[in-house]
Amino acid sequence: MDSPDDPLSSLAPLLQVRPVLDDLCEFGGRWASPHAAAGGPGWAYFHIVARGECELESPGHPPLRLQAGDVLLLPHGDPHVMRARPGATGIPAGTGKAYRNAIRHRASLGVEPDTEIICGRLQFEAAGESLLIATLPDRILLRGPGGPDAARTRLLLEAIRDELDADGAGAAAIAIHLASALFVMMLRAHLGADGASGGLLRLLGYRPTARAVLAMLRDPARPWTLDELAARAATSRATLVRAFRAAAGCPPLAFLTDLRLGLARRQLLRGGAAAQVAAEVGYQSESALSRAMHRRHGLRPGELRRGAEAAGGPQ
């Protein structure tokens, strides 16, 4: 049974977010650590400040001070610099050795470390980048100390850190699953905050539109009509259209088109046959899907797949 008051519980399995833990950083002195773009659409950065303080600098935004317990998400994978303090320079020297569980260990040399950061990336594997990433701001910050989820955040951070230190079998996999839970907590905090961004998250924060969105996500191939979506949302057609336009800037059926094309793109990049993908996401034929993709993205299924192969294979 749907639970429209808890949309994230229904959405989380559909998002299929895959965390990648890259670095455990132990820095001291006047350090600065630059990060290039995360690797294309669908990739995000996250930083967990386990100890000490640091500062984020990213183009177009004021510096952001971070302290122990804070978790930062950069949903668009934007380039940025992590620093000890404003104006600090010098890239920390790495040890050049793999950390336990294949996590790289980076450390300042010749200086006692006073800051510890767990760095990684998220890959959004389903629901289409246009549906999720475009709705999120450039930065999402979950404050550890004093925040509404402070106790839970602290427990998760301690568990992740303990697993990274552990020698036990499966420690890295456990840490990755804990990071997934942390991401859902960040979405919940962002959704509940004043001024949360529009789009998918705002749709999920309002009961009638949440019901309609979750119905589409669960069965994108169904030939939905506005009447059916309004019935699922237990509201009128006019009210549903107004709510979608206010939150996502488009009516419900345009949102459904975006959803279908996002799902089709992911399945095609994974090697799915165009005809089968078309049927699974709600198109009557391969040619109908091809025309829709070309109108929206300027690429047909074969061109999309060839581009992915040229970039290094299916994602």
Tens of pLDDT, residue by residue over 241-263, are 999 998 888 899 999 998 888 78
**What pLDDT sits at residue 101?**
63
Name, in order, each residue with C-beta under 8 angstroms of 170's C-beta and a sequence gap of 6 or more.
Answer: none
Tens of pLDDT, residue by residue over 291-312, are 998 888 787 888 876 755 544 4
Q: Which pLDDT band, with edges at 50, 70 and 90, does 64 fall under?
A: very high
**All domains of the chain, ordered by start, with CATH?**
7-193 (2.60.120.280), 206-312 (1.10.10.60)
Residue whose pair of structure tokens reads 């998250």 in the numeric block: 201
pTM of the predicted structure, to 2 decimals: 0.64
Tens of pLDDT, residue by residue over 68-120, are 989 999 988 889 999 997 766 665 554 445 556 667 888 888 888 999 999 99
Provide DSSP, 191-255.
HHSTT--STHHHHHTSHHHHHHHHHHHH-TTS---HHHHHHHHTS-HHHHHHHHHHHHSS-HHHH
Give the strand pairing for 94-98 and 104-107: antiparallel
